[in-house]
Amino acid sequence: MLVLTLVMAAVGFGLLVIALTTGSVAWAWGSIAVCLLGAVLLLVSALSGRGKAP
């Protein structure tokens, strides 16, 4: 799940670069949505691994 979070962060960064180069607000909102989804995945991963012994 952590790899998926890293991929989501990379996609979000790519969308942010596209938004800045084109000046489009839609790409920026897409970047925000992808980054929020990645943050939720990271939170779920952290909470699910909390109860497991190392």
pLDDT tens, residue by residue, 15-54: 999 999 999 999 999 999 999 999 999 999 888 877 665 6
For the chain, the farthest-separated pair of C-alpha atoms sits apart, in whole angstroms, at 48
| DSSP string for 7-40 | HHHHHHHHHHHHHHHHT-HHHHHHHHHHHHHHHH
Q: What was the pLDDT predicted at 1?
A: 80
Predicted TM-score of the model (pTM): 0.81
